[in-house]
Amino acid sequence: MIKTLSRILKQDKERFVIPKGVQQVIPIRAIWPDGIFFVGNKFSKSYRFEDINYAVASREDKEEMFLSYSELLNSFDSGATTKITIHNRRLNQADFEGSMLIPLREDPLDLYRKEYNQMLMDKAVGAHGTVQEKYITISIAKKSVEEARQYFARVTTELSAHFARLGSRCIELDAADRLQIFHDFYRMNEEASFRFSLPETMRKGHDFKDYICPDTLEFEKDHFRMGELYGRVIFLREYASYIKDSMVSELCDLNRNLFLSLDIIPIPTDEAVREVENRLLGVETNITNWQRRQNKHNNFSAVVPYDMEQQRKQSKEFLDDLTTRDQRMMFGLLTMVHVAESKEQLDSDTEAILTTARKHLCQFSTLSYQQMDGLNTALPFGVRKVHALRTLTTESTAVFIPFRAQEVIHPEGIYYGQNVISKNMLIANRKQLLNGNSFILGVSGSGKSFTAKREIVNQVLATDDDVILIDPEREYSALVEALGGETIHISATSPNHINAMDMNRQYGDGANPIILKSEFVLSLCEQLMGGHHLGAKEKSLIDRCTASVYRRFLQNNYKGDPPTLQDFRAELLKQAEPEAQDIALAIELFTAGSLNTFAKPTNVNVNNRLICYDILDLGKQLLPIGMLVVLDSILNRISQNRAKGRNTFIFIDEIYLLFQHEYSANFLFTLWKRVRKYGAFCTGITQNVDDLLQSHTARTMLANSEFIVMLNQASTDRRELAELLNISDLQLSYITNVDAGNGLLKVGSSLVPFTDKFPRHTRLYSLMTTKPGE
């Protein structure tokens, strides 16, 4: 027998003791705060790893992921045993309601909050309702916990590096995290009640098992009872010669609480080669003896029997895998425990799992009179008490790949739709990303405005954050009015005025605000003077006059009315230089003339928490100046909110219009780079992705945005996006000729296909829809 295997089997041997209570069924003998458990005769440690988008990856990407996963398996230490576990757990309804539903505030908006909550509840019920978590547990026999700790420190570094290469992340679990896994399984529907403090438990002299064990455990021949629930442990008895990589994800598709564990015992290559050579030698000897017997009977043309030929061929292939193809010999065991609320349901679920396995030409069997050992093997304790090992190579082990599709479930996030693959809700929190700026992209009619409006509704109803909109198509007025916001109509004839020279105490982020304002006025004057670049003399004059008109306002400690563009022009006219007169004459149309809408004191409420700047009626002449003033006004508001510790969400519809003007494009670029530290988040909405990407500025902004909603795309836009964001062909199919509200969501490094169907017969839908006839 292989030395390593016999040594591990010897280490796994334990004296059989009949448990006298439910606590004794749990095989943990001691725990340490850093998550090391003493189970059986070994020390074990668990890690949680994140899913990656394997199911929707292209064939080339799948091969790359498969090879990277094979490398991970090859890196396992042959002195230790490794258990890879997939845990399906049903979402707790009470937890969901507490974290996702919007609390009512007894104000006029409660009407909409109730509607929104009802929609979330319907989605939660219709969703798969299960969260999938994945663990890797390493068990090693060491003399002391110090030795084990040193070993696990080295393993942690290696695992983190390998999972990072896969695009995943590996997180160490401490004692409380590991105990919570077992608590959630043993005490289903009581997940929220888990409270555990190791120092307190030690001080009171309590047993940690009391916090996690079920009320009762009864083991029958082919199932077990755990309190009111029924469970069954099955194992993979017969393996097909060819298994598809989708088998594990299909087995875990069952909408039940379950654990699927793959135990792996890697064998050192030298021992494996020696073992296979011995087997091959035995096969060759048998063939030689058979031929000798045939020759003795003068049967010189006899063909070697098929079974012997197959043995020879398989042994040679196996030896070839080990010596030339970087494969390792491994012993594997696949166990699975699933739980149901009744015996009938349990039998039905078992049959569904067996059918799935038979579809892949594999055979599962129920463990008879071994349900307790099977349960402890399937749970991520780090013990293996079922002896049904199967010889595998690295590749045949990697076929049981645990990856499927990424989920997006951020704490305190908001709803963005449902994952097309897993049917789970996508709950994202832009505040948790490195850079919360966002783009919503799609052709006309794909649901861009609706997606933006749903996010605005969620922010207004559920948070105290401020929301600011730039609306060039007058699509948001009804929604803003219904939510108690302020719509500011900006045009040459509008009675609404925004003072271009407005300034508050926080303007400029603590630096000299005059410097920042002077830069803004320079840009404004360049625009007002027809877009030609100013000379050095003109710039000096503008800077001098800007400082001069703000002097009294700053001396009064920002009290009183800030200066206007009319004051600025008056200051220019006082200067002796002829260039000053030229500038004053050039800006006369916009200060004292008919387009003076930004040269008057502000007369609208710019302090409402929901503001919509309606720029539909801004003429061609006023648009570039209007956009600069509006963006500066928004920057003013962001800096005010930062001082209050409040977040600001900015939505800019048809953002490509702003990139047509150099100054507003540069201002946006600066805004995109700087607002994160101000606690603000920008969202650009556009349909002309191709046009947008013509601008180098816009391309950089798009590449730096961590949150992108891609809806149905035109063919030219698809190619550009695929190149920019590295989207596979299979992922592109989710933004090709799809219905409104379907697409791809980029959250950080994750790309998740989603669908978002909002109930039509609601007040919110009628406020948000932009479809003609609705």
In a domain, 167, yes or no: yes
Same domain, residue pair 245 and 368: yes
Are residues 234 and 368 in contact, defined by beta-carbon separation less than 8 angstroms?
Answer: no
Residue 236 exposed, middle or buried by CB count within 10 Å (0-12, 13-18, 19+): buried
Cβ atoms within 10 Å, residue 212: 22
Which segment, 49-58, 341-350, 546-555, 681-690, is predicted with the most confidence on average? 341-350
CA gap 687, 657 in Å, rounded: 11
CATH code for the domain in which residue 580 is found: 1.10.8
Residue 644 amino acid letter? K
Same domain, residue pair 222 and 288: no
What integer pLDDT is reported at residue 284 of this predicted model?
93
Helix (H, G, I), strand (E, B) or coil at 659: helix
Query: Residue 566: which H helix or E strand, with range?
Result: helix 565-574
CATH code for the domain in which residue 148 is found: 3.40.462
What integer pLDDT is reported at residue 708 of this predicted model?
92
In a domain, 106, yes or no: no
Mean pLDDT is lowest, of 37-51, 233-247, 290-304, 576-590, for: 576-590
**Chain centre distance of CA 539:** 48
CATH code for the domain in which residue 712 is found: 3.40.50.300
Q: Could you write out the DSSP letters of every residue in 74-117? A: HTS-TTSEEEEEEEEEEPPHHHHHHHHSPPP-SSTTHHHHHHHH
Same domain, residue pair 590 and 638: no
Please name the residue that has the structure tokens 């030339």. 324
Cβ neighbours of residue 461 under 8 Å, at least 6 residues apart? 102, 109, 112, 113, 116, 483
Cβ atoms within 10 Å, residue 524: 24
What integer pLDDT is reported at residue 297 of this predicted model?
87
CA angle 200, 201, 204 (to 5 degrees): 85
Same domain, residue pair 225 and 368: yes
What integer pLDDT is reported at residue 606 of this predicted model?
76
**Helix-helix angle 623-644:513-528, to 10 degrees:** 160
In a domain, 109, yes or no: no
| Structure tokens given for 536 | 């050095």
Nearest to residue 683, comparing CAs of 481, 515, 453?
A: 453
What integer pLDDT is reported at residue 530 of this predicted model?
67
501, 532, 570, 745 from 575: Cα distances, Å: 20, 22, 9, 56
Please name the residue that has the structure tokens 């299979």. 730
What integer pLDDT is reported at residue 237 of this predicted model?
93
In a domain, 768, yes or no: no
Are residues 537 and 545 in contact, defined by beta-carbon separation less than 8 angstroms?
Answer: no
Please say which residue of 570, 601, 632 terminates a domain: 601
Same domain, residue pair 741 and 645: yes
What integer pLDDT is reported at residue 84 of this predicted model?
96
Same domain, residue pair 456 and 584: no
Helix (H, G, I), strand (E, B) or coil at 224: strand
What integer pLDDT is reported at residue 346 of this predicted model?
95
Same domain, residue pair 537 and 590: yes
Residue 437 exposed, middle or buried by CB count within 10 Å (0-12, 13-18, 19+): buried
Are residues 764 and 774 in contact, defined by beta-carbon separation less than 8 angstroms?
Answer: no
For 187-203, the pLDDT digits (tens) are 888 877 788 888 888 88
Please report how many Cα atoms fall inside a 13 Å half-sphere around the Cα of residue 94, on the Cβ side.
Answer: 6
In a domain, 451, yes or no: yes
Please name the residue that has the structure tokens 């169907």. 757
Phi-psi region of 226 (alpha: psi -120 to 50; beta: other; left: phi over 0): beta
CA gap 84, 8 in Å, rounded: 18
In a domain, 766, yes or no: no
Domain residue limits at 280:
271-312
For 635-664, the pLDDT digits (tens) are 888 888 888 888 899 999 888 877 877 777
* Number of domains making up the chain: 4
Torsions phi, psi for 682 (to 5 deg): -95, 145
For 72-81, the pLDDT digits (tens) are 999 998 889 9
Mean pLDDT is lowest, of 395-399, 421-425, 457-461, for: 421-425
Same domain, residue pair 27 and 166: yes
127 pLDDT above the threshold of 60: no
Same domain, residue pair 368 and 300: no
Same domain, residue pair 377 and 288: no
What integer pLDDT is reported at residue 774 of this predicted model?
60
For 371-407, the pLDDT digits (tens) are 999 999 999 999 999 989 999 999 999 999 999 888 8
137 pLDDT above the threshold of 90: yes
In a domain, 321, yes or no: no
Same domain, residue pair 377 and 515: no
In sign, the C-alpha dihedral spanning 34, 36, 38, 39 is positive
DSSP letter assigned to residue 29: E
What integer pLDDT is reported at residue 96 of this predicted model?
66
Band of residue 126 on the pLDDT scale cut at 50, 70, 90: low
The average confidence (pLDDT) of the chain is: 86
To the nearest whole percent, how much of the chain has pLDDT over 70?
97
Same domain, residue pair 256 and 387: yes
Band of residue 510 on the pLDDT scale cut at 50, 70, 90: low
Are residues 293 and 360 in contact, defined by beta-carbon separation less than 8 angstroms?
Answer: no
In a domain, 111, yes or no: no
Are residues 267 and 1 in contact, defined by beta-carbon separation less than 8 angstroms?
Answer: no
Q: Which residues are 96's β-sheet partners? A: none
